[in-house]
Structure 1
C-alpha cells in the first residue's frame, strides 16, 4: 500500500526525533521552510505535522510553531489513598540551613534554589521603569507610611489582572514584602501555635519552614503528581477536625508542577466554606503555567471569603523588588494589622515601578517569553535525566514553573547523594525537605530555569553517575543527617 506524501514527511521527521537530531523542546523548521525544502504544499506539511501531533511527537504552540514533545518516564502515582498520618510538628529548619549553605559553595553548578534566570528577566525594561518613576515621583524614594501599606496604582493593577477570573474587592488586598511574607501573615492571622495546617505532600520547603517557625503542626495530604492533593483525604481531615487551616499550591505546585483541575478547585472552595476553615492559596507560579489559558485560582470560586490568595511578581519580573500581595478575603483586617506592626509598609516606590510595568503589554510579553523558554528547558533537562539516570528513575511532568521532581531507586538516599554531589560541584534539593515527616528520601528537586549549557549537561551527567553508583551499592545507603 502506497504512503501519502504527508505520511512520508511525518515518518521522516519522526525518525529525526527518534535519533535525537531534534531533541525534546527543540523547535521544528517552520511550515513554510519545510514546504520549500521538501517541495511540498503548505497543506501537505500541515497534515504531516498534525499527524505527528496525533502520535504525540510534537506540539503546536500559538504564534511559535511546532516543538518536539518530551515523553518522560511516567512518574508513579504517589499514594492516592486517603489514609492520613497524625499531624506533626515540623523540624526541617536545621537540615535546610545545612543544605542551602552547601549549595552556595563557590563554583558549584546551581540546580537547587528555584530562582528565575537573570537572562529571562526584563532587567533593561525594569531599569527604564525605575528611572521613569524616580523622575516622575521622587518623593516615593523618601516617603514612608506607617499606616498605608498599599500604593493605589499597584492595587489597581492587581484588581485589573483579576478580572480574567473574577472580581476582587480592593479592600481585601494587602501588599507585602514577598509571597512568603503574605503566607506568613495569613498563617498568623488564622492559626495559633500548636494548631494544625493541612498541606500537600510533597510541598515547598519554605511553607514547612514558615509552619515550623510559628510553632504549628503540619498534616500531609496525599497528592497526585498530575492533579494535586486528594480532596477526599482533605475532606476526611476536615470532617474529623484535624486541621485549623489549609495551605496549598493549586497552580504549578512546587515541587511537582501539577495544576489542580477546575472541578477540584470548585469542590475545594465549597469544602472550606462548609467547614468555615481558611484556605491559604500560594499562586506565585500561576502566571507561569504552560496551559493555553492561565488557570484560575481557587479564589475565583470563593463565595465565603475563606480563601486567601497570595502571590508576587518575583518569579517573572524582579525577585529583588520584594513586592508581593494577598487578597485576604474576610481576614483582610487582621492581615493588614499584622503587616503594619511586623514590617511596616512595603516600598511604595517599587509598588509604583511594578504598577507601571504591568500597565501596558510588557508583562504579557514577558510571560509569553518565559513560558516558552521554561517549557523548553524543562523538556531538555527531563530528557537528559532519562538518558543519564538509571531506568528505575522517573520524572514529573510540570505544567508550569521551572522545577523537576525526580524519583530515584529506593535504596538511594537523597541526603547522602547531596553530600557526594556538592563535593563534585553540583547542587540540588533533597526530597526530605519537601515533607514534614521526612518522606521522599529517594527524591530530589532540580531547578530547570537556567539555560542549557555544557556545564549544566555535565552536572546532570555527574548526578546520573552518582545515582548509578549509589544504586549499585550493596545494602541501603542512608545519610547521617
Structure 2
C-alpha cells in the first residue's frame, strides 16, 4: 500500500515524539516552518498534523499551534509463547451468560459491553434519512422476499466502498441480519460439527460462542498484541492438518486492538490458497482503525475465493439497523442458501436507509469524527489505568476499535475479582472469556467508548484499588 507524503511526515514526527526529541507538552515547529524545512505544501503539512491529532499524538491549540500530548508511561502487553495447544471444544456459554447478566446490574458503571454510545453515533442524521426513505419509497416498509435478500442500491454502495482495496464481484455479496449472522452462516458453509477452527488468542467471546453452538472445536493460534496471529504457528497447524478453517479479526482485533500488517495479510492469503483452507474474516472494526487510510482486509489478496469477508455498519452508524453482509467468494451460493433457510430476507427498508447514508459524504465524515473521538477516549482510559492500577500492569496499544486489554500480575484472577467489582458498582469483561482454553485469567477488557466522566474516573480508581488488594 502506497504511503502519501503527509503520512511520511506524520510518521517522521511521530518517531521524534517516541524518542522524546519533542517532549510531552512541547510545541511542534509551525506549519509554515515545517513546509519550508521539508519542501512540502502547507496543505500537506496540515494533513500530517491532523493525522497525528487523530492518532492521539498531538493536540491543536487555537492561535498557538500543535503540542505533543501528555501521556502517562505504560508497559505494552506481553508477547505470547509460540506454542500450539491441542484443538478443543469450547465451553464458555454458561459462564459468559452469567457475566453478562451481572454486568447489567442496576446503576453499574458499564465498562464491559463494547457498544458505541449514542452520543457519537449519527442518530439525528439517521432519523432524517429514515423519514426521507419512508416518504420516497413507502413500498419498502412492506416489502418481503423469501429469496431475493438484497436491495440494489445497498449492493452498489458495498461494491463502491470495496474499490478502495480491490475489484469486487457483486454476485458474491450476501446481505445478512448482522455481521454476527454473517459469521455464523459462513462457519456453517465452510465447516461441519466436529471440525476445528483456527482462531486468534485472544479473540472475541461471541466468536467462541458461535463455535461452541455449532459443535466445532477451536485451535488457538498465538497472537502478537501488535501484529496479530503468528503465521509460522498457523502454517505448522495447517501442515499437520489440525484445522479445517480459520476465523480471524485482522483489523482491530477484539480485545487486542491490533492490525495485521499488509505483508502478513498477503502471506496469510497465500497460505489459505496453498492448503485450500477457508478464512472467515471479521472486518466489522475495519472502518474504525486509526490510520489515515483504512487498512485493507485479507480479502484484498485473495485469489482463490477462500476468504469470506463479514462486516456491517453497526459500529459506526446504528446497531439497530441489523444489516450486515458477507463477500462470500466461492462459497456465495451455499451462504445464500443457508441465509434463506435460516432467516429469510434482510429488511429492504433498512438496506435502503443505509445505502442513502453511504451514498453521500455523511459516512466518511462520521468516521473521521468517530476515530478522533475514540483515539482520545482510549488515551484517557489508558492514562487512568496507569495512574490507578499497580505498576506491574501492562496495556494494549489499540490501533482501532474502542476497547482496552489490561494485563494484570499473574496472581490476580480476573473472574474472581469480577464479583467484587460488581458489588462495588463496576462492570468489565474477564479475560477468561476471550479464550477457548481459559487462558488470560489475569487479563480484563475495558470499554473506552463512553465520554469521560467523574463517575468513570472513580470506577477506574476503585477497580485499580481492587487489583492492588488482590496482590
TM range (shorter): 0.7 to 0.9
Q: Is the 8 A contact 2:415 2:441 kept in 1?
A: yes
The residue number in structure 2 matching 1:463 is: 463
Give the 3 Å change call, closer, same or farther, for CA 58–339 of structure 1 in structure 2: closer
Q: CA deviation at 1:14?
A: 4.3
**After superposition, what is the alpha-carbon deviation per residue over 1:438-464, rounded to whole angstroms, capped at 9, x for unaligned?**
000000000000000101101100100
- 1:273 aligns to what? 273
Out of 72-81 and 220-229, give the one that drifted further.
72-81
Give the 3-state SS of the residue equivalent to 2:468 in structure 1: helix
State how far apart, in whole Å, the 1-side matches of 2:256 and 2:431 are: 11
Residues 191 and 57 from structure 1, CA distance in 2 versus in 1: closer, same or farther, beyond 3 angstroms? closer
Deviations 1:104-160 (A, max 9, x none): 011000000100011000000000000000001111111100100111110100000
Alignment partners' CA distance in 2, 1:97 and 1:467: 24
Partner of 1:348: 348
Task: Within 5 Å, give how 1:19-418 maps onto structure 2.
Answer: 58-59=57-58, 68=69, 70=71, 72-81=73-82, 83-418=83-418
Tell me the residue number matched to 1:431: 431
Deviation at 1:58, TM superposition (A): 3.9
CA distance in 2, matches of 1:76, 1:430: 16
Deviation at 1:59, TM superposition (A): 3.9
CA distance in 1, matches of 2:293, 2:414: 36
Can you list the C-alpha shifts for 1:237-292, whole angstroms capped at 9, x where unaligned?
00000000000000000000000000000000010011111000000000000012
Q: Is the CA contact (8 Å cut-off) linking 2:309 and 2:326 kept in structure 1?
A: yes
Would the aligned equivalents of 1:174 and 1:328 in 2 still touch at CA under 8 Å?
yes
User: Using the alignment, how far apart are the partners of 2:57 and 2:173 within structure 1?
Assistant: 42
Number of the residue aligned with 1:23: none
2:77 touches 2:395 (CA, 8 Å); kept in 1?
A: no
Contact 2:88 2:218 in 1 (8 A): yes
Distance 1:289 1:117 in 2: 17
Runs of 5+ consecutive residues of structure 2 not aligned to the other structure? 1-19, 32-41
Q: Is the 8 A contact 1:88 1:217 kept in 2?
A: yes
2:423 and 2:29 mapped to 1: Cα distance? 44
Q: Distance in 2 between matches of 1:57 and 1:312?
A: 26
SS in 1 for 2:280: strand
Shift in alpha-carbon separation, 1:69–1:295, aligned structure 2, 3 A? farther
> Do the aligned partners of residues 29 and 103 (structure 1) sit closer, same or farther apart at CA in structure 2, a change above 3 Å counting?
farther
* Bigger radius of gyration: 1
Change (3 A) 1:261 1:69: farther
Distance in 2 (CA, whole Å) between partners of 1:66 and 1:348 is: 48
Cα offset, 1:409, TM superposition: 1.0
CA pair 466-316 structure 1, distance change in 2 beyond 3 A: same
The one-character-per-residue Cα deviations of 1:78-115 (angstroms, maximum 9, x if unpaired) are 3142x210000000000000000000011000000100
| 1:20 paired residue number | none
Q: What CA distance in whole angstroms lies between the structure 1 residues aligned with 2:73 and 2:28? A: 23
The structural deviation recorded for 1:356 is 0.1
Q: TM-score, normalised by structure 1?
A: 0.86
How large is the Cα RMSD of the aligned pairs? 2.4
Give yes or no for contact 1:88–1:436 (8 Å, CA) kept in 2: yes
TM-score by length of 2: 0.88
Distance 1:219 1:377 in 2: 33
CA distance in 2, matches of 1:69, 1:309: 38
Any residues of structure 2 matched to 1:8-23 within 5 Å, and which? Answer: 14=23, 16=25
Which blocks of at least 5 consecutive residues in structure 1 are unaligned?
1-10, 18-27, 33-42, 472-481
| 2:470 alignment partner, SS class | helix
Alpha-carbon spacing, 1:193–1:417, altered in 2? closer, same or farther (3 Å): same
Once residues 292 and 436 of structure 2 are traced to their aligned partners in structure 1, the CA distance between those partners, rounded to angstroms, is 34
Q: CA deviation at 1:73?
A: 1.9
Change (3 A) 1:257 1:272: same
Aligned residues: 431
Residues 194, 273 of structure 1: alpha-carbon distance in 2 compared, 3 angstrom cutoff: same
CA contact (8 A) 2:198 2:221 kept: yes
Distance verdict in 2 for CA 1:337–1:58, change over 3 Å: closer
